[in-house]
Amino acid sequence: MLVDEQKENKEIAKQYKELLRISYQTLNEEDKKLIRVAFDTAVDAHRYQRRKSGEAYIFHPISVAKIVAEQIGLDATSIAAALLHDVVEDTAYTLDDIERLTTPEVAKIVQGLTKISNLKKDKDISLQAENFRKMLLTLNDDVRVIIIKIADRLHNMTTLQHMAEYKQVKIASETLFIYAPLAHRIGLYNIKTELEDLGLRYTDPQRYNSIKNKIEETKEEQDLYIDHFSSLVKKTLDKEAIRYEIQGRSKSIFSIHRKMAKQTIPFEKVYDKFAIRIIYKAQRRKEKFFAWKIYSILTDHFVPNPTRLRDWITAPKSTGYEALHVTVMGPENRWIEIQIRSERMHEIAEKGYAAHFKYKQGQQKDIGIDEWLDRLREILEANTGNAVDFVRDFKLNLYAEEIFIFTPKGELKSLPKGATALDFAFHVHTEIGMKTRGARVNGKLVPLSRVLKSGDQVEVITSENAKPTANWINFVQTSRARTKIKSSLNEEKKRIAAEGKEILRRKLKQLKIIIDAKKESYLVRYFKLNTTLDLYYKVGAGSIDNVQLKEFANHYNNSFINFFKKKLRPKTSRPAKELVTTTSNPNKLVFGKDKQQLDYVIAPCCSPIPGDEVFGFISINEGIKVHKMDCPNALALNSNYAYRIIDARWVDDSSDEFKAKLLLSGIDNIGLVNEVTKLISNNMNVNILSLSFTADDGIFEGKIDVSVKNKTLLNKLVDRLKQLQGIEKVTRN
């Protein structure tokens, strides 16, 4: 490919000047000098490298630095580190070179970013999950490492069209599964939204383009509505001498998609497709006063929805987000969400961590982001388990709505919605959680599994003799509590296993068997366990008793050779190609580029039928499991186990029948059940497997299990059911 080097160099210089111009922070001469050195070093290091698109590689670090400078608003050190983030990993430059040319602080951040990229190619774990854990471990170095990594991912997502399709889906799934929630948790709301929309663009392009086109079609109407609303409140706000601006904001494509999926409604029935922001100027001490004054003015003009008031000024979110949200009935009887923020609150909502840092005063500790980072470090230090489990636990709290709980002394604590009394105990302090014996909520003794509500006052009862039990895991919601309980249970298991090992050695010796590594393996298989730790634990706990050990000894002594051959032969895992041979359902599904017919099972979590877009997942024990592309587990599987995903497609859907479950709801009419069964049986050539209807106060809900040949017939059935009088909604479960 021919490259106009002169033109390219001009563009690189232009991008550099743009980087300095858009910086959120004020750059002094020392800052500019540092950024210039980093820029020159990056240009030299990447001079022979090009991206998949064909453009010079240097445009990537410059773009990442621009995101860091403008959208996130970090300092000169961060901008320099962003420019150099790939230098040590991809070129001949070393960390010592970076430190010598820039500063130790820049080198430390680059080292953290390089650590994330140097992964072991171990197929037994999720590389992305391990990558995520390593990324979080760099918090001990500098939180800016993670923020720059998020910026790096954002730019990579904007250029994803140059990658192979299978890589697009994998990277987009990782983004939705990990990076977007993490950006949300750090308070980078704009970047979170961009990552979600870009992720949906590649994981479900059809849905993405459909929503995007419909938003564009309604944009003019939306702008007119916002102008009309603004004019109604503008005069009153002006009379009160409030300095403000009104902004209209469309909901993101992903948030509309999520609402459509959650409520199983079409685009036209998503009524809150946009929100309005009122951003006002006020001194810090008067921010709350002006927020409620604006609220009062709005509710003088429009009827508020009392169930949709959110006061995040009095009690900010744990991410540090502050605002007053109110939903009012606007012109044309349409509900409108209004976000009331001061300029400071708006800046924090836009820039996240960087704005928090800017607005800290003196040594005042920020209760939002800093407390979260401190707790995160604690979780990281305590967690030594499987990387995938770690990611799953960590994500439990990322998107959770928050509740606010009072301690007996009246201190306010923030917890994720669904948290229990035991979660609260661990939130207060690990040692309190570990010694919890009971809890009082609002003065009444309650079970530790009691789910808390905002406003509850909780007192934890402790005892020196109390310790975590296995059932605690079943009802805690927070990753902090879960991690500590697991760690305690593991320690207890190891202690019992140590005693069990000595008991086993002594008892087998009495039975004339001297234990060694081979016999340990035989024992593990004989008792159908997974590890020697399980074996020792069961002996120590008494689950394997003298009688069972004598039976083993008899078996071992009397038929060792036969026992070894038939019972103890190690199971060998076959390569993925040999995992399956010939499909038991010919001409239904083919897999991979070679369109092989292989054995498979239908995943029960989404129950795909012919016509659904599907993929195959090579499981460890059940061969190939077939999932729908929009299966609730698809993102996690693509993100954590991309190397076990194989293409799958239907090639003939005309023979066997498949089960599908339909959910119906609407207004109860006499004879409705008869009409439904008649329509299905007589007109659709579809078999009813089971049917149940319930009605309450004139509203009905129905569940129908049917047998159909393919998705086309099922869609026709759904369309015809929707036409029956009284039926409001028909969805496939």
Q: Given pLDDT bands bounded at 50, 70 and 90, which one contains residue 19?
A: very high
CA proximity to 247, closest of 151, 370, 341, 140: 341
Q: Mean pLDDT check: name the lowest of 256-265, 422-431, 640-649.
A: 640-649
Tokens at 169, concatenated: 């889906």
- 135-163 pLDDT tens trace: 666 555 677 888 898 999 999 999 998 88
C-alpha 378/C-alpha 434 separation (Å) is: 15
Averaged pLDDT, 87-96:
90
561 pLDDT above the threshold of 50: no
Of the two residues 276 and 632, the one the predictor is more confident about is 276
Q: Given pLDDT bands bounded at 50, 70 and 90, which one contains residue 17?
A: very high
| Look-up of token digits 């799958």 | 648
Q: Mean pLDDT check: name the lowest of 244-253, 394-403, 552-561, 580-589.
A: 580-589
Share of the chain above pLDDT 90, in %: 23
Averaged pLDDT, 454-474:
87
Q: Which pLDDT score is estimated for 82?
A: 95
Averaged pLDDT, 466-471:
84
Q: Mean pLDDT check: name the lowest of 88-97, 584-593, 615-624.
A: 584-593
Tokens at 187, concatenated: 């308070």
- DSSP-derived secondary structure for 68-84: IIIII---HHHHHHHHT
CATH superfamily of 214-359: Beta Polymerase, domain 2 (3.30.460.10)
Q: Mean pLDDT check: name the lowest of 94-103, 366-375, 522-531.
A: 366-375
- Give the type of residue at 14: K
Q: Mean pLDDT check: name the lowest of 101-110, 322-331, 343-352.
A: 343-352
Q: Which pLDDT score is estimated for 30?
A: 93
Q: Which pLDDT score is estimated for 355?
A: 66
The Cβ of residue 706 has, within 10 Å, a number of other Cβ atoms equal to 21
Q: Which pLDDT score is estimated for 254?
A: 93
Q: Which pLDDT score is estimated for 94?
A: 92
The Cβ of residue 496 has, within 10 Å, a number of other Cβ atoms equal to 17
Of the two residues 657 and 261, the one the predictor is more confident about is 261
Q: Which pLDDT score is estimated for 586?
A: 38
Long-range interactions of 9-13: CB distance < 8 A, separation 24+: 11/59, 12/43, 12/56, 12/58, 12/59, 12/62
Q: Which pLDDT score is estimated for 565?
A: 46
Q: Which pLDDT score is estimated for 578?
A: 35
User: Beta strand 444-446 with 436-441: parallel, antiparallel or unpaired?
Assistant: antiparallel
- What's the CATH code, domain 400-468? 3.10.20.30
CA proximity to 660, closest of 636, 634, 686, 635: 686
Catalytic annotation, pick one of 89, 99, 652, 701:
89
Share of the chain above pLDDT 70, in %: 83
Of the two residues 379 and 50, the one the predictor is more confident about is 50
Q: Mean pLDDT check: name the lowest of 66-70, 380-384, 406-410.
A: 380-384
pTM over 0.85: no
Reading phi first (left if > 0) and then psi (alpha if -120 to 50, else beta), residue 320 is in left
Catalytic annotation, pick one of 8, 11, 90, 370:
90
Query: What residues pair up with 337 in beta bridges, in sequence order?
Result: 275, 327
Q: Mean pLDDT check: name the lowest of 307-311, 430-434, 634-638.
A: 634-638
Q: How far is CA 63 from the centre of its chain?
A: 25
Averaged pLDDT, 426-449:
90
Q: Exposed, middle or buried: residue 230 (CB in 10 Å: 0-12, 13-18, 19+)?
A: middle
192 pLDDT above the threshold of 50: yes
Q: Which pLDDT score is estimated for 389?
A: 60
Are 485 and 496 in contact, with CB atoms under 8 Å apart? Answer: no
Distance set, CA 452 to CA 134, 422, 426, 434 (Å): 33, 10, 14, 19
Domain segments of the chain as ranges: 5-162, 214-359, 400-468, 487-566, 576-650, 658-732
Q: Given pLDDT bands bounded at 50, 70 and 90, which one contains residue 39?
A: very high
601 pLDDT above the threshold of 60: yes
- 652-694 pLDDT tens trace: 545 456 778 888 888 877 777 788 888 877 655 677 888 888 8
Pick the CATH number of 5-162 from 1.10.3210.10, 3.90.25.10, 1.10.1740.10, 3.10.620.30: 1.10.3210.10
CA proximity to 308, closest of 288, 337, 279: 337
H/E segment holding residue 460: strand 458-462
C-alpha 322/C-alpha 325 separation (Å) is: 10
Of the two residues 365 and 173, the one the predictor is more confident about is 173
C-alpha 97/C-alpha 55 separation (Å) is: 26
CA proximity to 311, closest of 341, 286, 284, 355: 341
Averaged pLDDT, 222-243:
86
C-alpha 421/C-alpha 456 separation (Å) is: 10
Buried-state track 4-27, b at ≥16 Cβ within 10 A, e below 16: eeeeeeeeeeebbeebbeebbbeb
The SS3 of residue 554 is helix
193 pLDDT above the threshold of 80: yes
Told to judge if 89 belongs to the known catalytic residues of this protein, a careful annotator would answer yes
C-alpha 60/C-alpha 160 separation (Å) is: 12
Pick the CATH number of 658-732 from 3.30.70.260, 3.30.1490.20, 3.40.30.10, 3.30.70.590: 3.30.70.260
Q: Given pLDDT bands bounded at 50, 70 and 90, which one contains residue 348?
A: confident
C-alpha 340/C-alpha 322 separation (Å) is: 9
Told to judge if 90 belongs to the known catalytic residues of this protein, a careful annotator would answer yes
The SS3 of residue 493 is helix
Q: Mean pLDDT check: name the lowest of 72-86, 246-260, 382-396.
A: 382-396
Q: Which pLDDT score is estimated for 129?
A: 61
C-alpha 403/C-alpha 401 separation (Å) is: 7
Q: Given pLDDT bands bounded at 50, 70 and 90, which one contains residue 432?
A: very high
224 pLDDT above the threshold of 60: yes
361 pLDDT above the threshold of 70: no
Q: Which pLDDT score is estimated for 683?
A: 58
- 278-332 pLDDT tens trace: 999 999 899 999 999 999 999 988 999 888 888 999 888 777 789 999 999 888 8
C-alpha 429/C-alpha 107 separation (Å) is: 35
Are 325 and 312 in contact, with CB atoms under 8 Å apart? Answer: yes
617 pLDDT above the threshold of 80: yes
